[in-house]
Homo-oligomer: A and B are copies of this chain.
Amino acid sequence: MEKKPVKIVTIGGGSSYTPELMEGFIKRYDELPIREIWLVDIEDGKEKLEIVGAMAQRMWDASPYDVKVHLTLNRREALKDADFVTTQFRVGLLNARIKDERIPLSYGMLGQETNGAGGMFKALRTIPVILDIVEDMKELCPDAWLINFTNPSGMVTEAVMRYGKWDKVIGLCNVPVGAMMKEPQMIHKTLDELTYKFAGLNHFHWHKVFDNATGNDITQKIIDAIYDPDVDDGTPKNIFNVKFFKEQLDQMQMIPCGYHRYYYRQEEMLKHSLEEYHDVNVGTRGQQVKKTEAELFELYKDPNLNYKPEQLTKRGGTHYSDAACETIASIYANKNTHIVVSTRNNGAVPDLPADCTVEVSSFIGATGARAIAFGPLHPAQRGWLQCMKNMELCVEEAAVTGDYNLLLQAFTLNPQVMSGTTGKRIMDELLIAHKKYLPQFADKIAELEAEGITIKDDIARELTEQGL
């Protein structure tokens, strides 16, 4: 069987991650021959697109392969006959993230842009856009795969399946990659000596580890190593490095993901976030990333730079693009690679409905992700899991319907938000702050504005006033 070289389309192509993506494709060219790459962005992102697009072309020119990188603001032109569409766009750019984080923190609550208050609003902004993209794909590239790494990756992927009725979608996450890179060395093993089993939701999964020599569960060994003071436990860069209580891990015989800190060590995570928020020299994670990004784009402008610079690693979210490239190569070449992705449950996590989206160990091949049945969880994890999945379902439904009341329900259900007047106020301010990207809530936002609700946080308010 000879397969033809592929056309790749990247929505949000002006992202600072694009060089990593290019590096990943160049590295895998032998198993994933590429015909053409289209980087798509919107008018507001045109300058970045041109900088990073030129850089991307330089990277290919420095490689042995003859690949043309097309830059366009015309999404439909790009999508025509695409084989793989990757989505890494950020509706409202980093300014939206800064608001997502600062508005809750201005009231002493976590904003957390993936599954906290911020993440819920990121879903509200993103889901209508991705559903539009899916409608274009149905018309222009009905056989293409959608590889999503726009966060919150789980909710966005689920919305594509549930509301977009598009099954050829895989949601990616870099967090499992990080765990699998760091943990084996903690116990003096290599990754290929171990078997990893992940189950849960995006940014909310747990894993177990097995020794390939015996087939036995050795998760406890990893847990013990995590609490050995000399060992680096591989926490992603963008999460404050407080440790879980060992007692919890000993009980669960599983290892939570880094984002579980927001749930298992909420007090410390909040304290740390507030410290950063109140320190004008630091700022929230979004503000930090904004600086890093500006530096990156300065680097990318260098006409001699034709490889991914070291500094990108600081950005956080590294491995996302590599996971994307590996996923695409695994589909194309039917590699059956083990990758942890967001995909339809189909029973893999029997504690959740079969038709929802989960993030689980999967084998990725020609037919996409084949989720591995993990089996039931202990009530101590099941409670969290079911709580969060239902919260996600509410957010997705609210994103599609613009139902304010349902959004309030989701906010109340989300364990990162303390329910009450302040939580509701945070939600209202976020609605106002993101008005530009939330047409589905237009009427309610107008009502809130008429009630005189204003944004308390200065930076968030000013960004909003400037239409950013």
- Select the stretch in A229-237, A273-281, A300-308, A381-389 that faces chain B: A381-389
Query: A195-B365, A419-B264 known; A372 and B370 CB under 8 Å?
Result: yes
CA distance A419 to B245 in the complex (A): 10
CA distance A145 to B409 in the complex (A): 34
A408 lies within 8 A of chain B by Cβ: yes
A 180-211 contacts with B by CB, 8 A: 190, 192-193, 195, 197, 210-211
**Contacting pair B366 A347 (CB below 8 A):** no
CA distance A380 to B424 in the complex (A): 16
**Contacting pair A375 B390 (CB below 8 A):** no
Query: A266-B420, A354-B375 known; A251 and B195 CB under 8 Å?
Result: no
Q: Give the contact-size bracket for chain A.
A: 35 or more
- Select the stretch in A73-81, A126-134, A399-407 that faces chain B: A399-407
**Contacting pair B248 A409 (CB below 8 A):** yes
- Select the stretch in A24-32, A46-54, A330-338 that faces chain B: A330-338
A 249-303 contacts with B by CB, 8 A: 250-252, 263-269
Chain B residues lying within 8 Å of A3, measured Cβ to Cβ, are 213
Chain B residues lying within 8 Å of A388, measured Cβ to Cβ, are 383
- Select the stretch in A117-125, A410-418, A430-438 that faces chain B: A410-418
Residue of A365, A379, A403 contacting most chain B CB atoms (<10 Å): A379
**Neighbour of A412 across the interface among B145, B216, B248, B404, CB < 8 A:** B248
A14 lies within 8 A of chain B by Cβ: no
CA distance A388 to B382 in the complex (A): 11
Residue of A192, A193, A267, A338 contacting most chain B CB atoms (<10 Å): A267
Query: A1-B213, A380-B390 known; A263 and B374 CB under 8 Å?
Result: no
CA distance A468 to B412 in the complex (A): 38
A85 lies within 8 A of chain B by Cβ: no
What is the oligomeric copy number?
4
With both chains docked as a complex, state the minimum distance between the C-beta of A139 and any C-beta of chain B, in angstroms: 18
**Contacting pair B404 A247 (CB below 8 A):** yes
A373 lies within 8 A of chain B by Cβ: yes
CA distance A379 to B352 in the complex (A): 11
A11 lies within 8 A of chain B by Cβ: no
Chain B residues lying within 8 Å of A372, measured Cβ to Cβ, are 363, 370-373
With both chains docked as a complex, state the minimum distance between the C-beta of A80 and any C-beta of chain B, in angstroms: 18
Q: Which residue of B lies closest to A212 (CB)?
A: B366
CA distance A350 to B390 in the complex (A): 15
A309 lies within 8 A of chain B by Cβ: no
Q: Which residue of B lies closest to A388 (CB)?
A: B383
**Contacting pair B334 A212 (CB below 8 A):** yes
Q: Which residue of B lies closest to A421 (CB)?
A: B267
**Neighbour of A386 across the interface among B210, B370, B383, B419, CB < 8 A:** B383
Query: A247-B408, A413-B384, A421-B268 known; A347 and B375 CB under 8 Å?
Result: yes
With both chains docked as a complex, state the minimum distance between the C-beta of A323 and any C-beta of chain B, in angstroms: 18
**Contacting pair A214 B143 (CB below 8 A):** yes
A391 lies within 8 A of chain B by Cβ: yes
**Contacting pair A390 B394 (CB below 8 A):** no
Query: A193-B1, A216-B143, A373-B346 known; A379 and B367 CB under 8 Å?
Result: no
**Contacting pair B195 A383 (CB below 8 A):** no
CA distance A411 to B366 in the complex (A): 36
**Contacting pair A331 B215 (CB below 8 A):** yes
With both chains docked as a complex, state the minimum distance between the C-beta of A222 and any C-beta of chain B, in angstroms: 15
Query: A248-B405, A386-B386, A420-B266 known; A354 and B336 CB under 8 Å?
Result: no
Selected A-B contacts with CB under 8 Å, 21 pairs: A143-B215, A143-B216, A192-B334, A212-B366, A215-B366, A248-B405, A264-B412, A266-B420, A267-B419, A269-B420, A346-B350, A346-B373, A347-B349, A347-B376, A371-B372, A380-B409, A383-B388, A383-B390, A383-B413, A384-B413, A387-B387
Give 8 closest A-B pairs by Cβ, nearest first.
A267-B420, A383-B390, A347-B350, A346-B375, A212-B366, A347-B347, A386-B386, A251-B405
Query: Using a CB–CB distance below 8 Å, which chain A residues touch chain B?
Result: 1, 3, 143, 145, 168, 190, 192-193, 195, 197, 210-216, 245, 247-248, 250-252, 263-269, 331, 334, 336, 338, 344-350, 354, 361, 363, 365-368, 370-376, 379-380, 382-384, 386-391, 393-394, 397, 403-406, 408-410, 412-413, 415, 418-424
